[in-house]
Structure 1
Amino acid sequence: MVHRRAAVGLGLGLLGSPPLLTGCGGGAEATGRRAGGPRPAPTAPAPGARAPKIQAEAAPRAIPGLGPRTAAAIPDRSRQAVVVTGRGRNSPRSTVVVYERTTAGWQRGAAWPAHNALRGWSAHHMAGDLRSPLGVYTLSDAGGLLPDPGSRLPYHRSTGFTTHGTGFQGEPLTGAFDYVVAIDYNRARGTSPQDWTRPLGPGRGGGVWLHVDHGGPTHGCVSVARSHLRELLRTLDPHRHPVVVMGYADWLAR
């Protein structure tokens, strides 16, 4: 978000609970008795007989580091989650891990070092506060200065992604927007990341992206190495309804 412009939707939902296993009878037990009739006395096991083993079902694998509140904010239909874990509330450094939801639960994928905003994180992001917004947001659109590297998300190529100047540590910003994924914070989904629509109003900021790392903190975005962002563009699948889960570790654990 050293950014120019972009655009937001917030995807919230409860994680689905595994269905309870039920018997096939549907009312009467397999003894031939009528539903509501007298229940036969239980028979004791034969002397020396072993009690049958009860097979416990393994709980679906959850995303490590996410507490119940954060996990519940991931929509049921989402099968991909990009988890951005900051080192601290005021830290500009974080780690990005990609997860895929399967029948066995969330499976961990690639993990990469990342930068977030200079002053860390905010639960009420405002334009110019130099903090990244906490929360769970959908990922709907991508774009960049360079040709589409094979993005599954709609890709909006434009010379408007050209950037110059230097970052907070004097590092050059050239190439930072060669590839971007728009985070649906205060933006209109289904538009270019550069769209100026701000449903929450301009004071709440916008243009929050995943973009190419330039070697230092951002204004509000999350940045990873160029090769990692290209990999992410090829991984995120709109049919799997990807989201980004972002915040510092203690907040995510709530």
Structure 2
Amino acid sequence: MPLHRPYISAAAAVIVSLIGIAAYHHVPEGNRTPAHDRAMVVQDAAAPATGRQAAAPAAPRTTVPPKPQYPARLPGLGPRTLSHIPAHTRQVVLVTGAGKNSASSKVVLYERADGGWRPGAVWDAHNGYRGWTDEHYAGDLHSPIGVFGLTDAGGRLADPGTKLPYHRSGAFSIGGTGFEGEPLAGSFDYVIAINYNRQPGTSPMNGAQPMGASRGGGIWIHVDHGGPTHACVSLSKSHMRQLLRALDPADHPVVVMGDAASLAR
């Protein structure tokens, strides 16, 4: 039987409305009549309201970068070496020799951070002409293996901004040539005393040797002259300035030095 208008479903009304809207928009604007406009009003009234509002734009997500994971222990160091690092030390200058008889090394400053050891840049360095020894004696041309405090600094040039006690003096001058004929001038522009056979808390120039003169002394970290040292560790002048500015007595800095195999013990 024929359907009457009251029985037209809501879905049918929507379809009629959409067909009418499409037809309306395809009538050229100049050819539209009041009847067209009235039809649109009827169609709009027939279309059911959804009651929905446009969704608000999602807030941008903030990405929090993960905390860096620093090693819990200093890399390359074995239990014996680690046992000599004081528990309160928060700065370690790690000098790792290329071999027991090598005069080439790498230096990294490690600092305590976020429950681990944060490494700094890797710097090229020189050490003793004949490499490394567990028992250093004066004139043996080896650098001593071990863990030593870093408490005092100085040099021929003005303090570059270190927190360590700094002794500036013209007595830090040096001349002559090194083992490979390189000039030594400027090697002591900046120095950091290594507390091997010396009295901590004094100028690097202090000649006191608690273990006796035969065990050598005056072993420093100083400016590199381009070749092996007698027993010291040497870095470029710019790296010496960076190291001096970084070291803080409140962090009880030490140097851990030796060839890789010895430090791994």
TM-score tier after normalising by the smaller chain length: 0.7 to 0.9
Task: Tell me what 2:87 maps to.
Answer: 76
Task: Tell me what 1:13 maps to.
Answer: none
Displacement, 1:62?
1.1
Which SS does the other structure have where 2:151 is aligned? strand
1:1-254 aligned within 5 A: 61-254=72-265
Which SS does the other structure have where 2:257 is aligned? strand
Task: Tell me what 1:8 maps to.
Answer: none
Query: Aligned pairs, how many?
Result: 197
Q: Report the AA paired with residue 245 of structure 2.
A: R
Stretches of structure 2 that go unaligned for 5 or more consecutive residues are: 1-68
Task: Tell me what 1:51 maps to.
Answer: none
Q: Say if 2:192 and 2:204, in contact at 8 Å, map to a contact too.
A: yes
Once residues 121 and 160 of structure 2 are traced to their aligned partners in structure 1, the CA distance between those partners, rounded to angstroms, is: 18
Q: Say if 2:148 and 2:256, in contact at 8 Å, map to a contact too.
A: yes
Q: TM-score, normalised by structure 1?
A: 0.76
Displacement, 1:102?
2.4
Displacement, 1:59?
10
Which SS does the other structure have where 1:83 is aligned? strand
Deviations 1:75-116 (A, max 9, x none): 000000000000111100000000001242111112100000
Q: Say if 1:61 and 1:107, in contact at 8 Å, map to a contact too.
A: no
Q: Say if 2:70 and 2:114, in contact at 8 Å, map to a contact too.
A: no
Stretches of structure 1 that go unaligned for 5 or more consecutive residues are: 1-57
Q: Say if 1:138 and 1:183, in contact at 8 Å, map to a contact too.
A: yes
Q: Say if 2:162 and 2:244, in contact at 8 Å, map to a contact too.
A: yes
Q: TM-score, normalised by structure 2?
A: 0.73
User: Which structure's residues are more often helix, by fraction?
Assistant: 2
Task: Tell me what 1:35 maps to.
Answer: none
Higher RCO, 1 or 2 (CA under 8 Å, sep at least 6)?
Answer: 1
Q: Report the AA paired with residue 105 of structure 1.
A: G
Once residues 171 and 258 of structure 2 are traced to their aligned partners in structure 1, the CA distance between those partners, rounded to angstroms, is: 29
RMSD, aligned α-carbons? 1.2
Which SS does the other structure have where 1:84 is aligned? strand
Q: Say if 2:70 and 2:118, in contact at 8 Å, map to a contact too.
A: no
Deviations 1:182-206 (A, max 9, x none): 0000000111101000000000000
Deviations 1:19-47 (A, max 9, x none): xxxxxxxxxxxxxxxxxxxxxxxxxxxxx
